[in-house]
């Protein structure tokens, strides 16, 4: 049973021109986390249409990767989650969805921000050396396939400054010196995510993998890393189908998961 007290919900789908991503759109005035809200909705209500999106004007307990928190100033940024049912992917192809979602976000932003826009492995959205956004993708597994996936996206849009601990952050406003309409950006991202997702659903994995590598931050450039307490210079050369990062080092080619490697400045 849901308690919707103090939560002002707007249903709005007249701004999004996609086929299904964002067509069932709930805009919440305030929520702890859009990912958690969507997860609860899934377990407490009748089945939701694929592409259902939850957007929060204020998200006060946003979650990030690796147990981090995601902070976002009320009303300034995009914080939303999308429901997808990628049952056509096997468990070891999960990373293809990460690729498609990252490409969806960067492609939607490209007309605004251009070529400096990159995907920092695995799925951070970067502008130059600064973080513009991130994703928390959570899979609900059934047997050996992915039943549904919640794609949570946080993007810094109109925020003008960031606290010290997030000093690597940047917003669209800081880059372009002007405010950007959140709903229209959400509409563009939904359309672009849908088109990459449909590529994947049509079996075009190789297209998605090539495009992802093409957008990858620091690919083929020597840079400093830290792994197992050791600092070294390495060059990203590839990302395995299962999502492991391939780094060429003085000791040969090494593969890392997200928990194992840190990008140094």
Question: Using CB under 6 A, which of 8, 17, 40, 68 touches ligand BTN?
Answer: 68
Kindly state the tokens that stand for 47: 């089945």
Per rule CB under 6 A, is residue 40 in the interface with ligand BTN? no
Per rule CB under 6 A, is residue 63 in the interface with ligand BTN? yes
Per rule CB under 6 A, is residue 62 in the interface with ligand BTN? yes
Work out how close the CB of 140 gets to ligand BTN at its nearest, in angstroms, rounded to a whole number: 15
Kindly state the tokens that stand for 32: 């702890």
Q: Are 172 and 132 in contact (CB under 8 A)?
A: yes
The number of residues that bind ligand BTN (CB under 6 A) is: 20
Q: Which is nearer to ligand BTN, 131 or 173 (CB)?
A: 131
CA distance readout (Å), 142 to 36, 138, 145: 19, 13, 6
Per rule CB under 6 A, is residue 34 in the interface with ligand BTN? yes
- Which helix (H) or strand (E) segment holds residue 212: the answer is helix 205-214
Question: Using CB under 6 A, which of 134, 139, 189, 244 touches ligand BTN?
Answer: 134
Work out how close the CB of 155 gets to ligand BTN at its nearest, in angstroms, rounded to a whole number: 8
What are the φ and ψ backbone dihedral angles of 151, each rounded to 5 degrees? Answer: -100, 105
Work out how close the CB of 154 gets to ligand BTN at its nearest, in angstroms, rounded to a whole number: 3
Could you give the CA distance from residue 258 to residue 66 in angstroms, rounded to a whole number? 9
Residue ranges that bind ligand BTN, judged by CB under 6 A: 33-35, 59, 62-65, 68, 70, 79-81, 124, 134-136, 152-154
């Amino acid at each position: 049973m849901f308690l919707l007290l103090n939560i002002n919900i707007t249903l709005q789908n007249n701004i999004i021109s996609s086929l299904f991503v964002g067509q069932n759109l709930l805009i919440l005035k305030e929520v702890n986390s859009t990912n958690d809200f969507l997860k609860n909705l899934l377990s407490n209500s009748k089945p939701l249409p694929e592409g259902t999106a939850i957007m929060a004007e204020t998200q006060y307990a946003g979650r990030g990767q690796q147990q981090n928190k995601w902070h976002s100033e009320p009303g300034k940024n995009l914080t939303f989650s999308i429901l997808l049912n990628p049952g056509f992917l096997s468990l070891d192809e999960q990373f293809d969805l990460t690729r498609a979602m990252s490409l969806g976000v960067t492609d939607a932003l490209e007309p605004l921000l251009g070529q400096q826009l990159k995907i920092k492995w695995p799925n951070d959205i970067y502008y130059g050396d600064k973080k513009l956004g991130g994703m928390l993708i959570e899979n609900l597994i059934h047997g050996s396939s992915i039943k549904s996936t919640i794609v949570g996206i946080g993007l810094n849009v109109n925020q003008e400054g960031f606290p010290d601990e997030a000093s690597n952050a940047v917003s669209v406003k800081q880059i372009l010196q002007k405010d950007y309409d959140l709903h229209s950006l959400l509409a563009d991202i939904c359309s672009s995510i849908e088109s990459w997702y449909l590529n994947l659903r049509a079996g075009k994995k190789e297209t998605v993998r090539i495009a992802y590598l093409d957008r990858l931050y620091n690919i083929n450039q020597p840079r400093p890393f830290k792994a197992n307490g050791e600092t070294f210079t390495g060059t990203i050369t590839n990302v395995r189908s299962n999502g492991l990062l391939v780094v060429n080092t003085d000791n040969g080619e090494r593969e890392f998961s997200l928990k194992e490697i840190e990008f140094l400045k």
